[in-house]
Amino acid sequence: MHDVKIPIGPQHPALKEPASFRIALSGEKIMEVSVRLGYNHRGIEKACEERTYIQDLYLIERICGICSHAHSTCFVQAVEEIAGLSVPRRALYIRTLVAELERIHSHLLWLGVAGHEIGFDTLLMYTWNDREIVMDLLALLTGNRVNYGINTIGGVRRDISQKETEEVLKGMSELEERTKYYIEVAQEELVLRKRLSGVGILSHEDVLRLGAVGPTARASGVARDVRKDDPYAAYGEIDFKIVTDNHNDIYGRTLVRLGELMESYKIIRKVLKSLPEGPLTVRAPRKIPLGEAFSRYEAPRGEDVHYVKSNGTEKPVRVKVRAPTLANIQAVAFMLEDRYLADLPIVIAAIDPCFSCTDRLISIRDSKKKRGKVVPWEELHQFSIEWHRKRGIDFSELNKRFRIKD
């Protein structure tokens, strides 16, 4: 049978966010995959340069709904490093608490989405029902179910009271019971094992070569976790295990995420038990001094990296965000080689894609030399103006109307 080209295109029931996968099929077997991203690009990095640091905090938080605290904390850590602030310990512990609660809600969401992609809607309904416990806890602690807004430059904005601590501990016990049941289901349910085992195989060497991060890498035995390699917030003072697995496939990734859920409950209990007293913030200046910083964070999907460059004014010069899905997406095309079409939704869902986090890439390639080069922003701006002028489009009228300096 000859090759049929099928678009798992920008709009498709398998994808939660737009991304384009062009598949060449022969019968049910996938012959070729080509991945194309960029449908979710919103110009956030450019928007950050026109707002002050305090306003940027809320913008960066809204890059993604599921890992919003991850981006917010990573950005705030970078700014605090440039300004040389030392955040009080109570604030670091509260940040860790919200971070682990976010990890719990993200992993429960992933379990449900994975169940939906293989046609197991019951798992979706049950895990998302349990996720409501975490969402209610987050609403109680921070004031909102998503986009928590708990960070501010120099610390956190809200305190945690005794009653809230008890609610959190009660929620953790309930969730621990439910997670033990889900681990049993994952290990004993026959049809689930058949759909997840042997699918999306990435060996240890492949992970290191393709640069995968997060649970995708940890399921192949690569013990890479920013919380242990480069501790931030309160992770340096709390003892916990990195969960790895040796199955190398999607079943292994399920077990890793379920194991991380169990670890998160233990971390939250330790954080609440040893919560230090003290102030919640230090006073942060409005004008951040000259400098640049690079900050890393273990988001539920992997390693999240932020880079901030300041020049002594109230607005940053450059903010760059590299989300973990960008590191994992190269592995998807590799994992889909020589598999069936029915494996495609679960393989894409296995890296836990968050295309909203990912879409901010600029890569310039010189077509004659076939090598990439770094182009400064002003050069790119001039290049685009010249390009349009050669084709008869002149922006000077438009600039005069909007009063933009050329």
Tell me which residues touch another protein (CB under 8 A).
4-7, 12-14, 25, 27-28, 51-52, 54-55, 57-59, 62, 115-123, 125-126, 129, 132, 136, 139-140, 143-144, 147, 149, 152, 157-158, 181, 184-185, 187-195, 340-345
Least Å distance between CB 133 and another protein?
A: 11
Which residues in 272-293 are b (16+ Cβ under 10 Å) and which e? beebeeeebbeebeeebeebeb
Instruction: List, in order, residues 6 or more apart from 69 with CB less than 8 Å away.
Output: 61, 98, 99, 102, 148, 150, 151
Least Å distance between CB 349 and another protein?
A: 9
Instruction: CB nearer to another protein: give 327 or 344.
Output: 344
Least Å distance between CB 136 and another protein?
A: 8
Instruction: CB nearer to another protein: give 25 or 321.
Output: 25
Instruction: CB nearer to another protein: give 190 or 374.
Output: 190
Residue 233 near residue 99, CB atoms below 8 Å: yes
Instruction: CB nearer to another protein: give 201 or 385.
Output: 201
Q: Which one-letter amino acid corresponds to residue 365?
A: R
Least Å distance between CB 135 and another protein?
A: 11
Least Å distance between CB 131 and another protein?
A: 11
Least Å distance between CB 113 and another protein?
A: 10
Q: Which of 54, 102, 327, 317 is nearest to 216 (CA)?
A: 327
| CA distance to 74, 144, 368, per residue, from 214 (Å) | 16, 27, 37
H or E element, residue 114: helix 89-117
Instruction: CB nearer to another protein: give 191 or 398.
Output: 191
Q: SS3 letters for 314-360?
A: CCCCEEEEECHHHHHHHHHHHHCCCCEHHHHHHHHHHCCCCHHHHCC
Instruction: CB nearer to another protein: give 9 or 395.
Output: 9
Q: What is the DSSP secondary structure assignment for residue 202, as one 8-state letter?
A: -
| Angle (nearest 5°) at CA 163 between 157 and 164 | 45
